[in-house]
Structure 1
Amino acid sequence: MSTMILLGSYIISLVLSLLRVLKKVFMALTRISPTTPPSSWLSWFSNDDLIKSEEYPHEVLHGNNFLQQKVIFEAHGKAVHDKYPQEENYGILTTKGSDSSPREKVGGDVKASSKSRKRPARLVVPDYSPVSEFCQKDKKLERKEFEVEGKDFSLASKKGRRDVMEDGYGVMLDILGDPTQAFFAVIDGHGGHAATDYVAENLGKNIVKALKRVEKAEDQLEAAIRGGYLVTDEEFLSQGVSGGACAASVLLKGGELHVANVGDCRVVLSRKGVADALTNDHRLSREDERFRIENSGGFVHCRNGVWRVNGSLAVSRAVGDLHLKEWIISEPEIKKLPLTSDCEFLILASDGLWDKVNDQEAVDVVLRDESSVESCKKLVDIASRRGNIDDITVMVIKLQKFVESGGLSRQ
Structure 2
Amino acid sequence: MPRKKAKPTRIVKLDYGSAHTEKARYASREDRHFASEIGSADDFHDGAFYLVGVIDGHRGAACAEEVARFLPSVIGGGSSFQDAFARMDRVVRDERSGACCCVATVKGVLLEDAQPTLDVAWLGDCRAFVARRSGGVERLTTDHAPDKERERIEAAGGMLVDDDGCVRVGVRPDDDDDATTVDLLAACRAFGDADFKRPKPVVVATPDVRTMQLDSDCEFIVLCTDGCYEGLPTDERVLEAVKAGIADDESGQAAAAGARAVVDAAVAGGATDDVTCVVLRTVLE
What TM-score comes out, normalization by structure 2 length? 0.77
**SS where residue 105 of structure 2 aligns?**
strand
Shift of 1:385: 2.2
Highest Rg: 1 or 2?
1
Shift of 1:247: 0.7
1:382 maps to 2:242: no
Write out the 4+ residue segments of structure 1 that deviate beyond 4 Å after TM superposition: none
Deviations 1:193-216 (A, max 9, x none): 1111110011111122334xxxxx
Q: Going by fraction, where is strand more abundant, 1 or 2?
A: 2
Q: Going by fraction, where is helix more abundant, 1 or 2?
A: 1
Q: More relative contact order in 1 or in 2 (CA 8 Å, sep 6+)?
A: 2
Q: What letter matches 2:152 in structure 1?
A: R
Tell whether the 8 Å contact from 1:154 to 1:376 is kept in structure 2 after alignment: yes
Structural mapping, 1:202-217, within 5 Å: 202-211=70-79
Gaps of 5+ in 1: 1-150, 212-223, 405-411
Tell whether the 8 Å contact from 1:203 to 1:229 is kept in structure 2 after alignment: yes
**SS where residue 256 of structure 2 aligns?**
helix
Of 218, 228, 236, which aligns to 2:84? Answer: 228
Shift of 1:363: 1.2
Structural mapping, 1:19-58, within 5 Å: none
Tell whether the 8 Å contact from 1:210 to 1:225 is kept in structure 2 after alignment: no
**SS where residue 247 of structure 1 aligns?**
strand
Of 37, 50, 53, which aligns to 1:185? Answer: 53
User: For the residues of structure 2 that align with 1:334 and 1:175, how far apart are their CA atoms?
Assistant: 22
**SS where residue 75 of structure 2 aligns?**
helix
Gaps of 5+ in 2: 1-13, 109-115, 171-182, 248-253
Q: What letter matches 1:312 in structure 2?
A: L
User: For the residues of structure 2 that align with 1:169 and 1:201, how far apart are their CA atoms?
Assistant: 10
Of 280, 288, 291, which aligns to 2:142? Answer: 280
Q: What letter matches 2:241 in structure 1?
A: V
Shift of 1:381: 2.0
Tell whether the 8 Å contact from 1:160 to 1:392 is kept in structure 2 after alignment: no
- Residue 250 of structure 1 is matched in structure 2 by 104
Q: What letter matches 1:263 in structure 2?
A: G
User: For the residues of structure 2 that align with 1:282 and 1:388, how far apart are their CA atoms?
Assistant: 21
User: For the residues of structure 2 that align with 1:365 and 1:241, how far apart are their CA atoms?
Assistant: 36
Structural mapping, 1:26-105, within 5 Å: none
Q: What letter matches 1:313 in structure 2?
A: L
Structural mapping, 1:3-402, within 5 Å: 152-158=15-21, 159-175=23-39, 177-178=43-44, 180-211=48-79, 224-237=80-93, 240-254=94-108, 255-272=116-133, 273-285=135-147, 287=148, 289-310=149-170, 311-325=183-197, 326-357=201-232, 358-368=234-244, 369-370=246-247, 371-400=254-283
Identity of matched residues, %? 31
Say which is worse superposed, 192-201 or 276-285, in terms of deviation: 276-285
**SS where residue 174 of structure 1 aligns?**
strand
User: For the residues of structure 1 that align with 2:39 and 2:150, how far apart are their CA atoms?
Assistant: 37
